Amino acid sequence: MTEPAAADSSPYSRGCAWVQGEYVPVGEAKISLLDAGFSRSDVTYDVVAVWDGKFFRLDAHLDRFERSMKHLHMNLGLDRAGISEILHECVRRSGLRESYVEMIATRGRPGRGARDPWTFQNQFYAYAIPYIWIVEPDKQEAGSHLIIARDTVRIPEASVDPTVKNFHWGDLTRGAFEARERGGSTVALPDLDGNLTEGPGFNIFLVVDGELRTPDAGVLEGITRRTVLDLAAEQGLTAHVAPLPVADVGQADEAFMTSTAGGVMPVTSIDGQPLGDGTPGPITMQLRQSYWDAHDDPRWTTPVAY
């Protein structure tokens, strides 16, 4: 174990990575061009936040990462404790108190002349960098302008399972450009049946007549999404996890996005139409505050030993 990183004097001050069995400054982290995680997007990953020196819901993220690897027939030769220790050490070496911490499992490199994915040696990578915001806190106060894509649908879950966190972002990126062209700040994609799914790195909630609604299919089962559902239950709020037709979006009084990278992020207009009075709604703001308060809840936090 090394001494805690000190300000900008440490080589890890901008982040620390685990690559090929070694800790390196994040700027020196590299992956082989031949790794199928790069060449075929044959990869799964997970992202957990550190806030005020504590991991938030680390066990839930590790559970999902393990399920994803099992789904993709990956085996890293590392147990859960080993993965957790690497994540902790990346944060500890960086010295970051607020951090975005990613764990990645790739298919790895093929042997000479090999193509069969079950013959590859799977690889593990990890890094800790300063916390990332999908929507910066000051912009959250005003709320985001969400666009529902017209020209792009979400990849069908029968083709790519969205509950396995992945890098298949072609549809999401295309949708993001559509949102920009239509004057929006971000996008949510419908599925082939006209139901709302998710956006680039976030889940969607609507508030209709005081009740929460969030899609049940075509989405990553986000840990922040789960946290909001947990908090809503504790606060006596009714939540429906069910198909959410795009045609019903106009009924919403409030809306928000959820992600590890930003928490509960208010939406104040959809397709150019303001929600309510055009400011973040009261239920949204109540859950937003509760979400950040939960980062001090010992049920859900794991301190980093700096």
- Structural domain boundaries in the chain: 7-131, 137-296
- Residues in contact with 74: Cβ distance below 8 Å, sequence separation at least 6, in sequence order: 44, 105, 107, 122
Element (H, E) at 84: helix 80-94
DSSP 272: T
The fourth-level CATH superfamily of domain 137-296 is D-amino Acid Aminotransferase, subunit A, domain 2 (3.20.10.10)
Q: What is the mean pLDDT of each run of 10 residues along the chain (306 residues)?
A: 52 95 96 94 98 98 98 95 98 97 96 87 97 96 97 95 96 97 97 97 97 97 98 98 96 98 98 96 98 97 97
- On whether the CB atoms of residues 224 and 214 are closer than 8 A, the answer is no
- On whether the CB atoms of residues 26 and 101 are closer than 8 A, the answer is no
The dihedral sign for the CA sequence 153, 211, 256, 66: negative
pLDDT reported for residue 187 = 98
* Tokens linked to 278: 């055009």
pLDDT reported for residue 8 = 64
pLDDT reported for residue 2 = 40
CATH architecture of 7-131: 2-Layer Sandwich (3.30)
| CA–CA distance, 220 with 165 (Å, rounded to integer) | 7
- pTM, 2 dp: 0.94
